[in-house]
Amino acid sequence: MKWKLHRIYLGPDYTIGRLYLEGKYFCDTIEDHYRDLNIEEKVFGETAIGYGIYKMELSMSPKFGRLLPMILDVPEFTGIRFHRLNTAKDSFGCIGPGENRRKGMVLNSTKYEKRMVKKMKAATKRGEEITIDII
């Protein structure tokens, strides 16, 4: 299973993206402000992860107490997940799926989190590798 996150707005307070599954639009996303860690310092809890291809898996989140998509082996980050949220202030480095219908927000995040988990469960059951390409 291949996800792709195409960042389309790199704002001073948040980042907006479009999430695709196997080349088809899935939903919008919101994350923290993107900082190029080659030239800027990481701000703990306020920095989006770097560009690249990462493996993903479903695992139980100790913080949220439910099965959530986790992005693995992100340099300088730990515990990066997709989970329901509305603004970058709620993200703490994670990515929120939803609908970007209001400036600086995503809506209907719970619906997209559940859909993402369902699709990843099916892929895991089929034995597929799950990756995300962040561009």
Per-residue pLDDT of the chain (135 residues; tens, 9 = 90+): 999 999 999 999 999 999 999 999 999 999 999 998 888 889 988 999 999 999 999 999 999 999 999 999 999 899 999 999 999 999 999 999 999 999 999 999 999 999 999 999 999 999 999 999 999
The alpha carbon dihedral of 14, 99, 53, 93 has a sign of positive
What pTM value is reported for the model? 0.94
Question: Measuring CA to CA, how many Å separate 12 from each of 21, 32, 35, 52, 115?
Answer: 27, 9, 10, 21, 29
Computed on alpha carbons and rounded to an integer, the radius of gyration of the chain in Å comes to 14
Strand, helix or coil at 123? helix
| Kind and range of the H or E run holding 4 | strand 2-10
Q: What's the confidence (pLDDT) of residue 38?
A: 82
